[in-house]
Structure formats: structure tokens, C-alpha cells
Structure 1
Amino acid sequence: MDLNLRHAVIANVTGNSQEQLEHTIVDAIQSGEEKMLPGLGVLFEVIWQHASDSDKTEMLETLEQGLKQ
């Protein structure tokens, strides 16, 4: 992923409220557009980098369960 894309995504959401961030995520998922996936990946990267070990374990468990369905 191009570093400029990371910076662009982060710049576009920096300062957003939790409600705005949720809207961005839900809108990207509901649109189903492939072009939204890199942006979601950048947001996940930020979450992962700032998560505790227990939060990471919970995310991995949730992901594993979601992929079993």
C-alpha cells in the first residue's frame, strides 16, 4: 500500500468524532466498493497499533469466529 494513501486516509479522518468514524466505517462496508478496502485497512492498522495485547487477542478471536460462519 502506498504510503501517500495511508497519510491521505489518516488526514481525512483526523479529528473526527467517534460517531463520524463509525459512519465512515459503516458506509465503507455497506457500499461494498472494492476501492474502500484500502482505507478500511489503514483504519484497522491504526486500531491494531494502539491496541493492548488483550484487545488484539479479542480482535483475533472475533475475526476467527467471523470467518467460520
Structure 2
Amino acid sequence: MNLNLRHAVIHNVSGNSQDELKSTIVDAIENGEEKMLPGLGVLFEVIWQNASHEEQQEMLTMLEEGLKK
């Protein structure tokens, strides 16, 4: 992924409230547009990097369970 894309996504959402961030995520998922996937990936990267080991394990468990459905 291009570093400029990471920077652009982070710049576009920096300072957003939790409600605004949730709206961004929900809109991207509900629209189902492929072009939104890199942005969601950048947001997940931020979450992952700021999560504790235990939180990362929990995310992996949720992901594994979600993929079984």
C-alpha cells in the first residue's frame, strides 16, 4: 500500500469524533465499494498498532469466528 494513501486516510479522519469515525466505517461497509477497502485497512492498521497483545488476540478470535459463518 502506498505510504501516501496511509497519510491521506489518516489526515482525512484525524480529529474526528467517535461518531464521525463510526459513520465513516459504517458507510464504507454498507456501500460495499472496493475503493473503500484500502482506507478501512489503514484504519485497522491504526487499531492493531494501538492494541495490547490481549486486544489483538481478541480481534483475531473475532475474525476467525466471523470467517466461519
TM-score of the superposed pair, with normalisation by structure 1: 0.99
Counterpart code for 1:47: I
Cα deviation 1:1-52 (Å, max 9, x = unaligned): 0000000000000000000000000000000000000000000000000000
Counterpart code for 1:60: L
2:27 paired residue number: 27
Percent pairwise identity: 72
Distance in 1, matches of 2:52 and 2:4, equals 27
Structure 1 stretches (4+) deviating beyond 3 angstroms? none
Correspondences of 1:1-69 after superposition (within 5 Å): 1-69=1-69
Distance in 2, matches of 1:43 and 1:24, equals 10
Let me know the Cα RMSD of the aligned residues: 0.2
TM-score of the superposed pair, with normalisation by structure 2: 0.99
